[in-house]
């Protein structure tokens, strides 16, 4: 840790921070993807990451989830390196495509992450069947993925991640492939599912409305190499109702995010 980052470090010293990022950079060969990045995310925060296409949002969350090594800098999750957190099944992912196994039933798909490396399962894992009932798929336990609509498939993917009861939930544009009506439904569902479970959520998205409606905090990223150009607190009280989008505060915050995105987003 060099002198330049010391003040930032002192500032956060007495705060309990689940995700701590210091001087993180990532490049692929000569191509820098993330410029030096410092970040503190507290436990239980819903953080959306928004930015132009291909700016490195996915790379950032992949590094935080321990799926890719950082080129330089330090990332810790609850004091542990990301790879250790991943090995302890403390990171649950929801990919952009549901990624369901076509030969497994809905119930078996929801159980997939629990079936892998069973010995590492947390003792307080959630019951996938109960969760499937909760998301309205109680009648589809024995159906196969091809019998479900896109929104229903993504709900299974959500349950599959939540079943792990991991303290960190990483979602990479999970609703991007869905139609607008289904997206709105999924937004409400996700809010209900995540509220009160205490998990930290990293949510990558292209949609300003989605980011504001769901999050406690929105990180706006610039074009490659990506840095955080705005860090906005979303002070809309929880629990949030489905009509949150009619709230004047919501509209104002969306404008703020849009402004940050457009004034810095095109930077190279």
Residues of this chain that interact with another protein (CB under 8 A) are: 65, 67, 86-87, 89, 91-93, 95-103, 112-113, 115-117, 120, 136, 139-140, 143-144, 146-149, 152, 164, 170
Report in angstroms how near the CB of residue 51 gets to another protein at its nearest.
20
C-beta of 65 vs 257, nearer to another protein: 65
Report in angstroms how near the CB of residue 161 gets to another protein at its nearest.
9
Q: Pairing relation of β-strands 31-41 and 46-50?
A: unpaired
The residue whose two tokens read 């004047």 is 248
Range list of β-strands (E), 31-164: 31-41, 46-50, 72-77, 91-94
Residue 181 in tokens: 């009506």
Grouping H, G, I as helix, E, B as strand and the rest as coil, residue 138 is helix
Helix, strand and coil content of the chain, in percent to the nearest 5, comes to: 40, 20, 40
Number of Cβ atoms within 10 Å of the Cβ of 28: 10
Residue 222 in tokens: 């610039």
C-beta of 109 vs 222, nearer to another protein: 109
C-beta of 139 vs 263, nearer to another protein: 139
Report in angstroms how near the CB of residue 114 gets to another protein at its nearest.
9
Report in angstroms how near the CB of residue 171 gets to another protein at its nearest.
12
> How far apart are alpha carbons 28 and 224 in whole angstroms?
12
Report in angstroms how near the CB of residue 235 gets to another protein at its nearest.
32
C-beta of 22 vs 89, nearer to another protein: 89
C-beta of 110 vs 220, nearer to another protein: 110
CA–chain centroid gap for 170, Å, is 3
């Amino acid at each position: 840790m060099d002198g330049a980052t010391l003040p930032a470090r002192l500032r956060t010293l007495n705060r309990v921070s689940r995700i701590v990022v210091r001087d993180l950079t990532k490049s692929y060969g000569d191509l820098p993807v993330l410029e030096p990045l410092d970040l503190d995310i507290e436990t239980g925060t819903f953080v959306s990451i928004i930015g132009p296409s291909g700016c490195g949002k996915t790379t950032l969350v992949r590094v935080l989830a321990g799926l890719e090594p950082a080129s330089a800098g330090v990332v810790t999750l609850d004091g542990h390196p990301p790879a250790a957190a991943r090995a302890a099944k403390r990171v649950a992912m929801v990919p952009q495509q549901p990624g369901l196994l076509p030969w497994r039933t809905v119930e078996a798909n929801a159980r997939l992450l629990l079936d892998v490396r069973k010995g590492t399962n947390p003792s307080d894992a959630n019951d996938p069947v109960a969760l499937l009932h909760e998301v309205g798929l109680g009648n589809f336990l024995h159906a196969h993925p091809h019998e479900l609509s896109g929104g229903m498939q993504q709900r299974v993917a959500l349950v599959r991640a939540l079943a792990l009861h991991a303290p960190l939930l990483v979602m990479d544009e999970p609703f991007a492939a869905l139609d607008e009506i289904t997206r709105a439904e999924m937004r409400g569902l996700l809010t209900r599912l995540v509220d009160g479970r205490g998990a930290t959520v990293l949510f990558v998205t292209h949609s300003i409305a989605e980011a504001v409606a769901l999050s406690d905090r929105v990180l706006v990223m610039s074009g490659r190499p990506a840095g955080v150009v705005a860090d906005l607190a979303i002070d809309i009280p929880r629990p949030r109702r489905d009509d949150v989008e009619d709230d004047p505060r919501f509209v104002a915050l969306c404008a703020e995010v849009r402004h940050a995105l457009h004034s810095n987003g095109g930077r190279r």
